[in-house]
Structure 1
Amino acid sequence: MNKTISIILLALTLTACSSAPAYRAASGSGYGYAEQQISDNYYRVTFKARGDDKEAAKAYALRRAAELTAQQGYDWFVLVDKETLKERETAANNQLGVTYQRDIEQKCTLFGCRTRTVNRPSYEAGVGVGVSSSREHVEVALEVRMGKGVSPENQQVYPAKTL
């Protein structure tokens, strides 16, 4: 009886985890949206999603940028920079390999701030038992500048969006 209840609870837990909405704030797993303020009206917005759908990840990042623009009291935003990262992680029975940790560095001058992503290698070796597995994810990072009133004519302008 206890074994049957345990199996049912495990199945329900797995179903709840797999049905988590794609658009959400990033949590411990890192999947979802996050933002970092660079200056008063300049933000870096990221969206990390499972799978390899770059267009969906970009759409979610733009959605978050529009919501953030409205939350900050601005009318519109423009894309200053865009970066798309696609990664595949593989876990094998026996492994020897290198992974990369991404760090974001910010450098500010009198003319503004710029951020860049730096990959630092980490070397691993291990022996495991079981079946190998693979997991893929895509991450889109947008740097946006927000504004009020009349929008610039020579740039792609996106409107603010309330929740």
Structure 2
Amino acid sequence: MKRIFACLSLCAVLGGCAMAASPYGPAYGPRGAGYSEYQIEPGRFRVTYQGGPGAPPQQVADYALLRAAELTLTQGYDWFQITDRATSGRPGGGPRLSVGTGGGSYGGRTAIGVGVGTSMSLGGGPSAIQSLEVVMGHGQRPPDPNAYDARGVQETLRPRV
């Protein structure tokens, strides 16, 4: 009975870790949670945020927007426009249950088998990825729903981090 309780406690702790919010910061390594960016041409960047296991997709999207706003300001621009947006990720790492059946005939004898298996992912890799291609500009932002005032985005999203 103690072993069952210990196992359930460990699963609860690991499940709580998996659902924790992703920290905001640079990604360390190609599969690490965090942001990365690269310059396509002057004033145009690809900004990507990879959430950790269990990170809510909305948080990942907000963090990508926040990084685009920070990058826009550090590059000396006032606004950015999203020209391409991609969301991807791996399926959730929650527990899985599978059932299998099989049969065979061996030298006049017949056998039937049934198997049940379980698995639980213990993490590794992002759960959601938001990638934005942004074009940056000076002065008043264009009247486009995909154009954002960098200071406004930063002031709104920074307190949520």
Q: TM-score scaled by structure 1?
A: 0.57
**Residues 139-154 of structure 1 aligned to structure 2 (within 5 Å):** 139-154=129-144
SS of alignment partner, residue 72 of structure 2: helix
Write out aligned runs for 1:96-111 (5 A).
none
Quick one: which amino acid aligns to residue 150 of structure 2?
A
Number of residue pairs aligned between Structure 1 and Structure 2: 110
Q: Is 1:76 matched with 2:63? A: no
The structure richer in strand per residue is 1
Q: C-alpha distance in 2, partners of 1:47/1:74?
A: 21
Asked if 1:86 corresponds to 2:73, the answer is: no
Cα RMSD after superposing both structures: 3.1
1:28-67 to 2 correspondences below 5 Å: 28=29, 29-50=31-52, 51-67=54-70
Under a length normalisation based on structure 2, what TM-score does the superposition of the two structures give? Answer: 0.58
Separation (CA, whole Å) in 2 of partners of 1:155 and 1:52: 26
3-state SS of 1:80 partner: strand
Counterpart code for 2:39: Q
The 8 Å contact of residues 52 and 86 in structure 1, kept in 2 or not, is answered as no
Structure 1: gaps of 5 or more residues: 1-16, 91-130
CA 1:21–1:141 in structure 2 vs 1: closer, same or farther (change >3 Å)? Answer: closer
**Residue-by-residue CA offset, 1:103-156 (whole Å, 9 max, x unaligned):** xxxxxxxxxxxxxxxxxxxxxxxxxxxx84324610000000000012212343
Larger radius of gyration: 2
Q: Which amino acid aligns with 2:27?
A: A
Letter in 2 for 1:41: G
Where does structure 2 lack aligned partners over 5 or more consecutive residues? 1-16, 94-117
Distance in 2 (alpha carbons) for counterparts of 1:27 and 1:159: 28
User: When you count helix as a share of all residues, which structure comes out higher?
Assistant: 2
Query: Within 2, Cα distance between the matches of 1:84 and 1:154?
Result: 21
Cα 1:21–1:49 change in 2 (3 A) is: closer
Within-5 A mapping of 1:118-133: 132-133=119-120
Equivalent position SS for 1:87: coil
